[in-house]
Chain A
Amino acid sequence: MPITYTSHEQVEVYRFSAPAAILIPLVAVFLQAFVPLRLHFFAIFDLPLLVVIFFGVARRNPVSGMLTGAAIGILQDALTPSLPIGVFGIANTFVGYGASSLGAKIDVDNMGSRFLVTIFFSIVHEIVYFTVARGLVDITLHWSWSHELGSAFLNAVLAVGMFALLDRFKQRT
């Protein structure tokens, strides 16, 4: 699973149609809000986070990634009434920025790199979320490395398949 360092000129930049750019995050947020009602184990996944990572590494534009992450994060916060709006937003903004920045420097279009990138940004997301929730909102959260690593691993596995599906919506620039 090579993670090759490429020049900016060698990296392909993708864009998405407006409907895809709008509907894919909405569907992800919707599924994240609805599916765990039927399948409780699905709560361990974070589909909006995966969408943020996917859009970030595909567009390779940090500003776009940040804005996408912020928007999806705030939408997630809006559907989470127990939390103030902004916790997921800040975490996903970080992730969007990092994913798009990383995608601009390395080729993350293969399965192995996607798997590792997803694991990495899942942990980053949890760290930021934990920090913000505990430091700014004063929400007592229990940190468990095993749980976070397990969750990151499962999200990475899911991301491999999901990214392959979302690749169909890519449009070459």
Chain B
Amino acid sequence: MEHLISRYRNLTILTILLFAQVLGLAIQVKRSSDNTPTRLIRIWAVDAVTPFEKGIVWLENGVRNLWRGYFYLRGVRQENRALKQQIEQLQIERASLNQDAEQAHRLQALLGFKERYISKTLAAQVIGSSGSEQSRSIYIDKGSRDGIKPDQAVITADGVVGKILRGVQDHVASVLLINDQTSGVGAILATSRLQGVLRGSPTGEVVLEKVMSDEAVEQGEKVLTRGGDRIFPKGLAVGTVVKVSPGPELFLNIRVKPAADLDRLEEVLVITDEELTEPAEAAGEHLRAADILAQRLPSIPDQPAPSNPNAPPPPTFGLKIQPPPNRQAPTPSAVSAAAKTGQTEAVGQASADRSPAKPKPTPVLASPPRASGDSRSAPLPSEVQPDSPKAQPQEPQPQPATEQPPQ
């Protein structure tokens, strides 16, 4: 037996080793259902290995942190400086783009306005101002080379801004704002159809003058251009009535808030050629001016037949009727009809600068030149032309008795 064991020593040891392990496996498998505690050999093995693993992980993290926190960050300061410069550059570009976007919105609004009302306008950039409260004017970057002429209307999409002053240079023109105290615009209240003259005040406010104190003007009423002064087209928004108070003499003092923000003008439109696009105007080429006026004045009662056919014609207040450019000359009946409406006042802006318009000679007329609430009573402005922008409206002449309205 001993000889066999010594002869097959290796196999014997192998058998013993395998038997021991199989036995150990069998014991473990049998006890696997029980809640046996973790075997010490596992604890020792884990305790022997995990410190090295922890050390390697710690070393790994240390190397990683060293790399990410130092070596990888080489040049970061320079990159940071470059990024800051880039941020500053981008901020500047963003501000510029914002301004461009805002400008685009404004120009878009202007363009829309232009397409709706006026065909020939010239967009201009506001490049300066007078810088004085005594003279409220601005400078635009368009001049005579661009077709700018004195007394052309300057507007925005919101409303009237002013007019071009004399002394237009090649590429620069000055604009007299409507809130300048030397300015004057013929205006009409949108609802009540009362007419007056819009003036600036020394404080920069805009006041509608020459409206009789016995008229009812409500706060918030819109004020439009009256037209007929050959500067501003009819119907442009001027502002809104913000305060109504008794004024000097028999007139109201109506304070108006300009529709255009005169303190923040950046882009404006200069009306270089006025073309009214109203359908009646377009279709009126075959109508006489008198017919047009008759259609627009339904509130004027029929005039009684003059007792004396040889009576003199109604006064024209020193204004002569001129055909507008590109239009047919009005017929004599149109002239007489225009005179009846009282639109002969036709306060030009320049003339208003010099002397206030006289009160309308309403007693002379058969009825007031307005029809309350009837917009059709608005006269055809381009049919009435002052003698010149500097023309002074003359005092109404004594009227013959036949012109008095029937009692």
Binding site for B on A (CB under 8 A): 26, 29-30, 33-34, 62-63, 66-67, 70, 74-75, 78-79, 81, 84-87, 89-90, 93-94, 97, 101, 132, 136-138
Interface string of B1-38 (1 = CB under 8 A from A): 00000000110011001100110111011001000000
Which of A86, A101, A132 counts the most chain B CB atoms within 10 A?
A: A86
Q: How far is the CB of B161 from chain A (nearest CB, A)?
A: 75
* Given A79-B49, A84-B32, A136-B25, residue A90 in contact with residue B10 (CB < 8 A): no
B14 touches A90 (CB 8 A): no
Output the nearest chain A residue to B49 by Cβ-Cβ distance: A30
Sample (21) of A-B pairs whose CB atoms are under 8 Å apart = A26-B48, A29-B49, A30-B49, A30-B53, A33-B49, A63-B9, A66-B17, A67-B17, A75-B45, A79-B42, A79-B45, A81-B42, A84-B25, A84-B32, A85-B24, A85-B28, A86-B24, A87-B25, A90-B21, A90-B22, A101-B10
Residues of B within 8 A of A79 (CB): 42, 45-46, 49
- A66→B29 contact, CB < 8 A: no
Nearest CB on B from A73, distance (A)? 8
The answer to the question of B41 belonging to the interface, with a C-beta cut-off of 8 Å to chain A, is yes
A115 and B175 alpha carbons, distance in the complex (Å): 100
Q: Are B52 and A93 in touch, CB under 8 angstroms?
A: no
Binding site for A on B (CB under 8 A): 9-10, 13-14, 17-18, 21-22, 24-26, 28-29, 32, 39, 41-42, 44-46, 48-49, 52-53, 56
A97 touches B29 (CB 8 A): no
B187 to chain A, nearest CB (A): 86
Q: Roughly how many angstroms separate A33 CA and B230 CA in the complex, as a whole number?
A: 98
Q: Are A136 and B49 in contact (CB under 8 A)?
A: no
Q: Are A90 and B18 in contact (CB under 8 A)?
A: yes
Which B residues touch A34, using CB under 8 A? 49, 52-53, 56
CA distance A34 to B28 in the complex (A): 26
Chain A hits for B26, CB < 8 A? 136
Is A63 a contact partner of B10 (Cβ separation < 8 A)?
A: yes
Taking A70-B21, A136-B26 as given, write out 15 further A-B residue pairs in contact, using a Cβ cutoff of 8 Å, ordered by the A residue number.
A63-B9, A66-B17, A70-B17, A79-B45, A79-B49, A84-B29, A86-B25, A89-B21, A90-B18, A90-B21, A93-B18, A93-B21, A132-B25, A136-B29, A137-B29
- Please determine whether A137 and B25 come into contact, CB atoms closer than 8 angstroms: yes
Q: B10–A30 contact, CB under 8 A?
A: no
A78 touches B22 (CB 8 A): no
Give me the 8 closest cross-chain CB pairs, A-B, nearest first: A78-B45, A84-B28, A62-B10, A86-B25, A86-B21, A78-B42, A90-B21, A89-B21
Closest residue of B by beta carbon distance from A87? B25
Question: Which single member of A33, A66, A70, A86 contacts B53 (CB below 8 Å)?
Answer: A33
Which chain A residues border B14 with CB–CB below 8 Å? 62, 66, 93-94, 97
**Chain A residue nearest in CB terms to B16:** A66
* Complex: A70 Cα to B17 Cα, angstroms: 8
How far is it, in angstroms, between the C-alpha of A132 and the C-alpha of B48 when the chains are bound?
27
Whether B13 contacts A63 by the Cβ 8 Å rule is yes
User: How far, in Å, is B20 (CB) from chain A's closest CB?
Assistant: 9
By a CB distance below 8 angstroms, the chain B residues around A93 are 14, 17-18, 21
Bound state CA distance, A59 and B28, in angstroms? Answer: 32
| B25, closest chain A residue (CB) | A86
What are the residues of chain B within 8 A of A81 when measuring CB–CB? 42
- On chain A, the residues within 8 Å of B41 by CB distance are 74, 78, 85
Residues of B within 8 A of A97 (CB): 10, 14
A89 CA to B22 CA, complexed, in Å? 10
Residues of B within 8 A of A94 (CB): 14, 18
Q: How far is the CA of A63 from the CA of B32 in the complex (A)?
A: 31
Q: Which of B9, B21, B39 has the most CB of A within 10 A?
A: B21
**A138 interface neighbour in B10, B29, B52, B53, Cβ under 8 Å:** B29
Which of chain B's residues have a CB closer than 8 A to the CB of A137?
25, 29
Q: Which residues of B contact A70 (CB under 8 A)?
A: 17, 21
